[in-house]
A = this chain, B = another copy of it.
Amino acid sequence: MKPINVGLLGIGTVGGGVFTVLARNAEEITRRAGRPIRITAVADKNLEHARAIVGDKARLTDDAFSVVDDPEIDIVIELIGGYGVARELVMRAIANGKHVVTANKALLATQGNEIFAAAQQRGVMIAFEAAVAGGIPIIKALREGLSANRIEWIAGIINGTTNFILSEMRDKGLPFATVLAEAQRLGYAEADPTFDIEGVDAAHKITIMSAIAFGIPMHFAQAHVEGISRLAAEDIKYAEQLGYRIKLLGITRRTPEGVELRVHPTLIPEKRLIANVEGAMNAVLVKGDAVGATLYYGKGAGAEPTASAVIADLVDVTRTATADPENRVPHLAFQPHSLVDLPILPLAEISTSYYLRLRVEDRPGVLADITRILADQGISIDAMIQREPDEGEEQTDIIMLTHQTRERQIDAAIRFIEALPAVRAPLVRLRLENLL
């Protein structure tokens, strides 16, 4: 059969991986796809670098618009990233009737609604397996593999940088700043690590998964986003003593009142498989009403793992490019006319368990005051550690795990507890999920 022609926009780390893997595995990929998939045009600002990878195997240009306007191109791969020119290029590719494969989670999470609407109207596909969890085929699992299920919740380790940092903090007992510096030296964290460590990258990804799990639009603006930069090494240690690990999780859950959409450091029982995902690896846990909990694990970043996802999308698009749009998997898993919108719950309305660390004076009655406040708010205590004060020390730590409760009740309890004279420092509050 006639080859399908692909234009590649941006040949950095991932783009280079796509080019390399597509060349190396051309024979097997063609045997799967039923026709050759070839990159015929590559656009990159750095022509010299691009030339070093591509050689004379494709037309090279520094004008990406010339690729999306090229009538010979069937599919455009957008690997430029960001919201600016990437958005323009994607919209123009759609207008030109080209299918788009993208790894751009930021773009989809923030502007996906208009992009998918435009693609739907023009009858082209937007494929985005590489936007979430790198090489793990989690978009496919959610949209197709679990299509029988009412999906109840998703909890994912979907940012490798922060998982690497948390693993190192636990392993070596080191503070955040030290480990971040090490991660930057090793290339696991970028020079400006804000998007990773403050949870923004994870929030983009959980926003996309939330949309396809529940058949709702992208709601990135309403996500609660909290990173790991203020996480103390001692909380990792206390959590461990209680049988928990701390992971940065992206969580989305359907409740009768609306959808929870949040990213924050989370205690999870060490016995859960996902608690044992270490280093820069990613894992996504999905709870469906029929299948129960399923877990998907692998490399969430890197040239070839991400290329694996981009190329899988190319094969999918190649297979259905000539098909009637109604035979295709809908972008957001549900048919466009049957998307619904569910409200995203404000943080005060979410329900979860909590880890509380209090710095208190070591004298009688303190614990009674604290537990009274919690009881008044209807909050039950599940486990507690009271550390013996060191010799000559007059303050000590109390750590408590609560039963499931509303965030606003914990907020109220914390206000009262922090007002107690015996409580000597702001309370540390982390969320805890049992993931059952």
Verify if A29 is at the interface (C-beta below 8 Å from B). Answer: yes
Given contacts A144-B312, A147-B315, A295-B297, contact A334 B290 (CB under 8 A): no
Contacting residues, chain B, for A25 (C-beta < 8 A): 148-150, 289-290
Contacting residues, chain B, for A31 (C-beta < 8 A): 215, 334-335, 338
Considering the complex, which residues of chain A in the window 302-351 have a beta carbon less than 8 Å from any beta carbon of chain B?
304-305, 307-312, 314-316, 319-320, 322-324, 326-330, 333-335, 338
Asked if residues B136 and A294 are in contact (CB atoms below 8 Å), the reply is yes
Verify if A411 is at the interface (C-beta below 8 Å from B). Answer: no
Contacting residues, chain B, for A309 (C-beta < 8 A): 148, 291
Verify if A137 is at the interface (C-beta below 8 Å from B). Answer: yes
In whole angstroms, how far apart are the Cα atoms of A328 and B320 in the complex?
Answer: 8
Asked if residues B29 and A147 are in contact (CB atoms below 8 Å), the reply is yes
Considering the complex, which residues of chain A in the window 369-426 have a beta carbon less than 8 Å from any beta carbon of chain B?
none
Contacting residues, chain B, for A316 (C-beta < 8 A): 144, 147
Contacting residues, chain B, for A136 (C-beta < 8 A): 291, 294
Contacting residues, chain B, for A145 (C-beta < 8 A): 129, 137, 140-141, 312
Contacting residues, chain B, for A323 (C-beta < 8 A): 320, 323-324, 327
Contacting residues, chain B, for A305 (C-beta < 8 A): 290-292
Verify if A21 is at the interface (C-beta below 8 Å from B). Answer: yes
Closest CB in chain B relative to A308 CB, distance in Å:
4
Asked if residues A291 and B276 are in contact (CB atoms below 8 Å), the reply is no
Verify if A173 is at the interface (C-beta below 8 Å from B). Answer: no
Which residue of B147, B290, B292, B299 is within 8 Å of A291 (Cβ)? B299
Chain A 129-167: CB-based contact to B (< 8 A → 1; otherwise 0): 100001111001100111111100000000000000000
Verify if A427 is at the interface (C-beta below 8 Å from B). Answer: no
Asked if residues B28 and A291 are in contact (CB atoms below 8 Å), the reply is no
Closest chain B residue to A136, Cβ basis: B294
In whole angstroms, how far apart are the Cα atoms of A28 and B22 in the complex?
Answer: 36
In whole angstroms, how far apart are the Cα atoms of A304 and B324 in the complex?
Answer: 32
Contacting residues, chain B, for A315 (C-beta < 8 A): 144, 147-148
Verify if A298 is at the interface (C-beta below 8 Å from B). Answer: yes
Verify if A17 is at the interface (C-beta below 8 Å from B). Answer: yes
Asked if residues B322 and A308 are in contact (CB atoms below 8 Å), the reply is no
Asked if residues A148 and B311 are in contact (CB atoms below 8 Å), the reply is yes
Verify if A33 is at the interface (C-beta below 8 Å from B). Answer: yes
Asked if residues B135 and A308 are in contact (CB atoms below 8 Å), the reply is no
Asked if residues B294 and A296 are in contact (CB atoms below 8 Å), the reply is yes
Contacting residues, chain B, for A428 (C-beta < 8 A): none
Chain A 255-296: CB-based contact to B (< 8 A → 1; otherwise 0): 000000000000000000100110000000000111111111
Contacting residues, chain B, for A34 (C-beta < 8 A): 326, 330, 335
Asked if residues B319 and A327 are in contact (CB atoms below 8 Å), the reply is yes
Asked if residues B32 and A290 are in contact (CB atoms below 8 Å), the reply is no
Closest chain B residue to A314, Cβ basis: B148
In whole angstroms, how far apart are the Cα atoms of A305 and B32 in the complex?
Answer: 28
In whole angstroms, how far apart are the Cα atoms of A307 and B135 in the complex?
Answer: 27
Asked if residues A148 and B273 are in contact (CB atoms below 8 Å), the reply is no
Which residue of B147, B150, B295, B307 is within 8 Å of A290 (Cβ)? B307
In whole angstroms, how far apart are the Cα atoms of A146 and B312 in the complex?
Answer: 6
Asked if residues B319 and A322 are in contact (CB atoms below 8 Å), the reply is no
Closest CB in chain B relative to A13 CB, distance in Å:
13
Asked if residues B32 and A334 are in contact (CB atoms below 8 Å), the reply is yes
Closest chain B residue to A339, Cβ basis: B31
Closest chain B residue to A20, Cβ basis: B290
Which of A30, A137, A294 is most buried by chain B, counting CB atoms within 10 A of its CB? A294
Asked if residues A141 and B147 are in contact (CB atoms below 8 Å), the reply is no
Contacting residues, chain B, for A32 (C-beta < 8 A): 147, 215, 330, 333-335
Residue positions of A touching B, CB distance < 8 A? 1, 17, 21-22, 24-25, 28-34, 129, 134-137, 140-141, 144-150, 215, 273, 276-277, 288-299, 304-305, 307-312, 314-316, 319-320, 322-324, 326-330, 333-335, 338
Identify the 7 closest CB pairs spanning chains A and B, nearest first. A137-B145, A148-B311, A294-B298, A135-B291, A291-B308, A295-B297, A31-B338
